[in-house]
Structure 1
């Protein structure tokens, strides 16, 4: 019972910490929504109505990458620098409570990003989705944040607090572009399309596109690839944390 309470309290404190820092939280939630309003609603509704549905999937993938990368990467790097992580590891709480708290917070923010984009798509973009598609896209968004939590965790073990935000932007933005989240891969040079499957964001985007009705092939290979990315990043990060703190 005490172990369960420790997990709950760590998750609660992590949630409160982010809610009390709107300067960090609001840009993560509103940035993809602003892009979707400009390109998915204002432009696409007039020139290519079907593009609003396509960009809903792409920008939801773009949006859920950030809570994992920055929520884990930046905060972990800062907490390592300040000594807070060392203090937490010395406390009598389960080792997994720290990671679970951050993970639940990232999933909650991903759900907020996905829901906001869905509301904009349906009520402003004229995108017609049934209930199963709503639920499928939200599930993809919420669970799809996990590989990026693991990647953010790895980056947080590699760099100090001041360097982590810049490096994460160098990972976040090029990965989004090279995965076809801003422009369809068929409109880009062939080499980019050939290399796109090396990025986890590409596979998550394929699942998001499938959720809103596009045919992207079977889902299980995408799920296996994303699970593999998640496990690999976590194992490397855990090894570094055990060695270097």
Structure 2
């Protein structure tokens, strides 16, 4: 199963490499936000720059997985290759695992510009231990957004998936507090953010890179979102399979 998963991941990565603009788009918005809002305004303050970088990394994790899996899966479903692969006896697990591995790889590649901007153009700083903790946290917070993307991709046709991903993209970022630092968002955002996947993810990232206290309520909400989105993703896959292969 592991070999099949890596084979599927390799296929996904090669397919994306043939259209590099797809990866460029995932990296562009967080990098542009860093250059437009973080570098000129809080770049010389180590604490704020570090927290803002963590927010932009969360932003990139959400956008990469939402579009990579949401739009990507819906596009794949429209191709004749997809029904053939799904009819093979290996089952769905290697394909899911391969897609997730490929998505995580592309996600870390898309994070490189944000990290480089933070390192060379701001005073953001982390210890080696914080860097490793942050890298692990990135994988953890990616899970609900991967599942969200898979749910969209398997539940909707390509045109609808693009629209839904775009509609979710900015509201989740704003209401999750990714556009501001810890405690700096408008009051209603501060109240709502811990209960959204973006808000819970940002709070985990802030705790990983600095002294932001762990918010157990936000962590519980993020776990709840992960379970719920996982159920929706499985339901969408089975629904699509029932419609197309029954």
TM-score (norm 1): 0.89
* Structure 1 position 40, deviation (Å): 1.5
* Structure 1 position 92, deviation (Å): 2.9
CA distance in 2, matches of 1:237, 1:83: 22
Q: Which of 40, 43, 67 lines up with 1:42 in the alignment?
A: 40
RMSD over equivalenced CA pairs, Å: 2.1
Query: What residue number does 2:10 align with?
Result: 12
In structure 2, relative to structure 1, the CA distance for the partners of 1:189 and 1:215 (3 Å cut) is closer
Query: What residue number does 2:50 align with?
Result: 53
CA distance in 2, matches of 1:4, 1:151: 24
Query: What residue number does 2:227 align with?
Result: 231
Structure 2 residues not aligned, in runs of 5+: 242-246
CA distance in 2, matches of 1:156, 1:233: 12
Query: What residue number does 2:72 align with?
Result: 75
CA distance in 2, matches of 1:38, 1:14: 32
Q: Which of 179, 188, 196 lines up with 2:176 in the alignment?
A: 179
Measured against aligned partners, the alpha-carbon deviations of 1:144-201 in whole angstroms (never above 9, x if no partner) come to 2111010111111232101211210110111000011012474444222222222111
- Corresponding residue SS for 2:86: helix
TM-score (norm 2): 0.88
Count of aligned residue pairs for this structure pair: 241
User: Is 1:211 equivalent to 2:208 in the alignment?
Assistant: yes
* Structure 1 position 206, deviation (Å): 0.4
- Paired residues of 2:52 and 2:181 also in contact (CA < 8 A): no
CA distance in 1, matches of 2:125, 2:195: 32
In structure 2, relative to structure 1, the CA distance for the partners of 1:77 and 1:42 (3 Å cut) is same
Which structure 2 residues correspond to residues 1-245 of structure 1 after superposition, within 5 A?
Answer: 3-45=1-43, 48=45, 50-184=47-181, 186-217=183-214, 222-245=218-241
- Paired residues of 2:12 and 2:99 also in contact (CA < 8 A): yes
